C-alpha cells in the first residue's frame, strides 16, 4: 500500500506545481495584488475558470483522499496488504489522477462526478473488505 500512497502524494505535488504555474501568471496578467485576496474564494471571477479549476483540484486532493490515506495506513499497519488491496489502492490513485485531469482541463462536470463516484466506490469496497480483518 505504500506505493499507491506515495503515488497520490506525488500527484498532489504535481497539481501544486500546476496550480502555481497557472495562477501566478494569471494574477500578474490581471494585475492582481495578492494582499487584496487573502481570504479563500475572495478572488471571485477575476481569475480565469481554467486557473481556478486547477486550484480547486489541488484543494480537492486534500479532502476526499483523506479516507484513502486512512484506509491504506490501516491496511498496511495491520499487515493486510494483499494483492487485491494493493490493486484497489492503485485503482483509487488512477481514478484521482483522471479526476484531476478532467477538472483541470475544464472537462464536463458529469464526467468528473462519475470518476469521483467510482473512486468513492473503491474506498467503500476497501473499507468493507477490511471489516472482518479488523474485527476478528
Q: Where are the domains of the chain?
A: 2-39+47-135
Q: What is the DSSP-derived secondary structure letter of residue 64?
A: T
Low-confidence ranges of the chain (pLDDT < 70): 38-45
Q: Which pLDDT score is estimated for 33?
A: 80
**How many C-beta atoms surround the C-beta of residue 102 within 10 A?**
21
Q: Which pLDDT score is estimated for 26?
A: 87
Tell me the fold of 2-39+47-135. 1.20.120
**How many C-beta atoms surround the C-beta of residue 85 within 10 A?**
21
Asked whether 119 and 95 are in contact (CB, 8 A), the reply is yes
Q: Which pLDDT score is estimated for 35?
A: 77
Q: How far is CA 8 from CA 1, 4, 40, 74, 115, in A?
A: 11, 6, 24, 17, 16
CA 69/CA 71 separation, integer angstroms: 6
Q: Which pLDDT score is estimated for 42?
A: 55
CA 120/CA 51 separation, integer angstroms: 26
Q: 131 φ, ψ to 5°?
A: -50, -55
Q: Which pLDDT score is estimated for 41?
A: 61
Amino acid at each position: 500500500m505504500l506505493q499507491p500512497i506515495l503515488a497520490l502524494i506525488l500527484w498532489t505535488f504535481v497539481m501544486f506545481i500546476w496550480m502555481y504555474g497557472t495562477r501566478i501568471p494569471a494574477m500578474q496578467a490581471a494585475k492582481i495584488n495578492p494582499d487584496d485576496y487573502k481570504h479563500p474564494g475572495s478572488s471571485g471571477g477575476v481569475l480565469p475558470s481554467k486557473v481556478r479549476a486547477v486550484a480547486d483540484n489541488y484543494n480537492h486532493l486534500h479532502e476526499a483522499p483523506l479516507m484513502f490515506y486512512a484506509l491504506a495506513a490501516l491496511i498496511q499497519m495491520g499487515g493486510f496488504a494483499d494483492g487485491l488491496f494493493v490493486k484497489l489502492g492503485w485503482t483509487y490513485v488512477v481514478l484521482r489522477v483522471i479526476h484531476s485531469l478532467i477538472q483541470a482541463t475544464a472537462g464536463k462536470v458529469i464526467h468528473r462526478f462519475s470518476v469521483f463516484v467510482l473512486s468513492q466506490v473503491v474506498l467503500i469496497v476497501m473499507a468493507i473488505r477490511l471489516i472482518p480483518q479488523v474485527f476478528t
